[in-house]
Amino acid sequence: MSKAKKTPVGRRGFLKGAAVGAAAMAARPNIGRAQDSPQPGGRGAAAPTQTALAREAGNARPTAAALRVIDRPGSDFMVEVLKSLNIEYLAANPGSTFESLHESLINYGNNQMPEFLTACHEESAVAMAHGYFKIEGKPMMALIHGDIGLQHAGMAIYNAYCDRVPVFMIVGNHADSAERGQGVQSIHSAQDLGALVRDYTKWDDEPYSLQAFADNSVRAYKIAMTPPMGPTLIVANNEIQAHPQTERNLRIPKLVLTSPPAGDYGAVKEAAKMLVNAERPIIIAERAVRTQRGVDLLIELAETLQAPVNSQERMNFPNRHPLAGTGGPGYSPDVALCLELNDLQNETRAARARNGKIISISSLALSHKSNIQDFGHYADVDLDIGADAEATLPVLIEECKKLITPDRKAAIQARGMKVAEANRQARVQGIESARLGWDASPIALSRIAAELWPLVQKEDWSYVSPMAFAGGWANRLWDMTKTYQYIGGQGAGGMGYGAPASVGAALANRKYGRLSINIQTDGDFNYAPGVFWTAAHHRIPLLTIMHNNRGYHQEVMFIEQMASLHNRGAERAHIGTKLWDPDINYAQIAKGYGLYAEGPITDPNDLAPALKRGIERVKKGEPVLLDVVTQPR
């Protein structure tokens, strides 16, 4: 059973006295005093009066409530539960449905484990947790306000769900209509709050006691971390947060994570036989590895088979490894090993066309829902192993090694030499293509990547934003060997992910002293730019380079394509797709949020010096934004 902690100022006693004083003041309002005194040091506006609160929210609470002092609220025990999960950070936009838990976190919990990070939008809070996990490998918490906050968070939750990323979420609620006030307390509550996002969370629960909160919070964390991973949600009703603790013998369950499921031994043996006997095998890895050990295992498998590895979506395999790539022109795989691919339709169609075979190792089949179509198309695979790919690799490697005879080994080595040469030539071509438009203004994305590399290659760096809209140039020009050096994209392709996920990833990188780099698309920036204030306020070092092409260029191309299909001109493709007239000055916005910023940078010769200045500041612990006006792609 938890016990209330005493602070040097006697928090509970102080609150009791303050409550009585507040009640007395409310009974004799001073009409002439419009506001209380501002906060010390000029930080923030003056505290609102009871009259102002009533006018703004339409439901000022009864004055008598101020007389009620709770020495041991349920939210104190809830904080102990969260501490048992070893959660380092939570991000939240403040809200009244979790005000008791908020107060307990910062006072009873001393704002440690978890530390409270102020987010300016619930979508940013969840996206920060999304990016954080992809660096740290354990969940961060998002604390969400009622139904309106959960609706704000919905897009970010969906991204995490499709990206198979665990986010531990708690959402506040006023469940008891006999207790909650009219107006905001009712409007922001729901009978079944989890239903708003149930289609794209892995699990949710609404506990009605503190013991149930403890049991199911631990369960939610465990489920989130079991492959296929995903976000989970606990509804924390105000009644168990704010009421005094009355339950006896409260106990926090022990968290024991579930071991990831490895593939059936017989099926893995069959996969090994198919791969060893193949003339032109290929490995296609999407969300295949979670750890550096997973990278090492994938290298071992590729080198055992001398098979090319087509690493997609995130850093599964070192991009300069001789076997990194698709095998080169003319390499027609007869067996493809697909590791945690979300949709295998293209691979299976290509395999049928060349009489090839498909092996799939994926945990995705172990957790499907029916409404959201994130599970992709049904694919005709030849061997389907429902298991976690990383957990299955050790057995697969061992079985492959058992089957390789001396004669077979010679043939495999000869294949590997051809694949390595083809991949080397593809890399050389990629470097040559980076020279195109080198002196162009707007600035070429290839030049941004090329100018950055000599400045970061000796640093412990981490590319924390999606790469697809930036032309994938860092993957073509840089040397990536660590899982954290590229953490992939949104999952569901939802905009508004890049900026907050980069801040969350940079938060995780901060304690390791890593240099976090975000190539920030302008369209994504404008969804929730307030996350850069969060970075400045919490001193999260991050180098943000604006990919400011002044538009939603993918949509420009789509409209141009449609105009061509409809036999019409593309002169109006800018309508509804471009961000100009007026041009947006992202450097000024960033400065307003408290960041060091430069730009707009339009001369390519100014780029490298600005990058150098920005990196120097980030290494000192600052978030920096450089506004670079860029080519469309």
pLDDT tens digit sequence for 493-512: 999 999 999 999 999 999 99
18 pLDDT above the threshold of 50: no
Rounded distance between C-alpha atoms, residue 480 and residue 324, angstroms: 11
Q: Which of 51, 69, 87 is the last residue of a domain?
A: 69
Percent with pLDDT over 90 in the chain: 81
Same domain, residue pair 271 and 406: yes
Same domain, residue pair 322 and 399: yes
Same domain, residue pair 619 and 471: yes
Rounded distance between C-alpha atoms, residue 53 and residue 560, angstroms: 51
Same domain, residue pair 173 and 230: yes
Predicted confidence band of residue 69 (pLDDT cuts 50, 70, 90): confident
Is 224 within a domain? yes
Same domain, residue pair 17 and 82: no
CATH number, domain at 189? Answer: 3.40.50.970
Beta strands (DSSP E) in 266-368 are: 281-285, 309-311, 335-339, 357-362
62 pLDDT above the threshold of 50: no
Helix (H) or strand (E) holding 627: strand 623-629
Q: 3-class DSSP state for residue 628?
A: strand
Among 189-193, 222-226, 261-265, 430-434, name the one with the lowest average pLDDT.
Answer: 430-434
Residue matched to tokens 């694919």: 379
Is 402 within a domain? yes
Q: Span 536-561, mean pLDDT?
A: 94
pTM: 0.90
129 pLDDT above the threshold of 70: yes
Is 435 within a domain? no
Predicted confidence band of residue 32 (pLDDT cuts 50, 70, 90): very low
> Tens digit of pLDDT for each residue in 133-190?
999 999 999 999 999 999 999 999 999 999 999 999 999 999 998 898 888 888 999 9
Predicted confidence band of residue 5 (pLDDT cuts 50, 70, 90): very low
Residue-level pLDDT at 54: 52
Question: Is residue 348 exposed (0-12), middle (13-18) or buried (19+ Cβ within 10 Å)?
Answer: buried
Same domain, residue pair 420 and 451: no
Closest CA to 598 of 521, 536, 546, 633: 546
61 pLDDT above the threshold of 90: no
The number of folded domains in the chain is 4
Count the alpha carbons within 13 Å of 139 in the hemisphere toward its beta carbon.
Answer: 30
Q: DSSP letters of 246-290?
A: --SS--PPPP-PPPPPPPPHHHHHHHHHHHHH-SSEEEEESS--S
> Tens digit of pLDDT for each residue in 88-112?
999 999 999 999 999 999 999 999 9
Rounded distance between C-alpha atoms, residue 267 and residue 383, angstroms: 8
Residue-level pLDDT at 12: 41
27 pLDDT above the threshold of 70: no
Is 24 within a domain? yes
Is 132 within a domain? yes
> Tens digit of pLDDT for each residue in 566-620?
999 999 999 999 999 999 999 999 999 999 999 999 999 999 999 999 999 999 9
Same domain, residue pair 216 and 99: yes
Q: Which of 202, 227, 242 is the last residue of a domain?
A: 242
Q: DSSP letters of 146-161?
A: HHHHHHHHHHHHHHHH
Count the alpha carbons within 13 Å of 501 in the hemisphere toward its beta carbon.
Answer: 37
Closest CA to 594 of 534, 523, 507, 547: 534
Rounded distance between C-alpha atoms, residue 367 and residue 201, angstroms: 11
Same domain, residue pair 218 and 173: yes
Is 610 within a domain? yes
Percent with pLDDT over 70 in the chain: 89
Q: Are 242 and 70 in contact (CB under 8 A)?
A: yes
Helix (H) or strand (E) holding 98: none
Is 260 within a domain? no
Is 253 within a domain? no
Same domain, residue pair 44 and 91: no
* Mean pLDDT rounded to a whole number for the chain: 90
Residue-level pLDDT at 55: 44
Domain of residue 355 covers 265-429
Same domain, residue pair 488 and 419: no
> What are the Cα distances from residue 406, in Å, to 18, 275, 303, 311?
83, 16, 15, 29
Predicted confidence band of residue 444 (pLDDT cuts 50, 70, 90): very high
Q: Which of 362, 396, 429 is the last residue of a domain?
A: 429
Same domain, residue pair 9 and 97: no
Same domain, residue pair 53 and 117: no
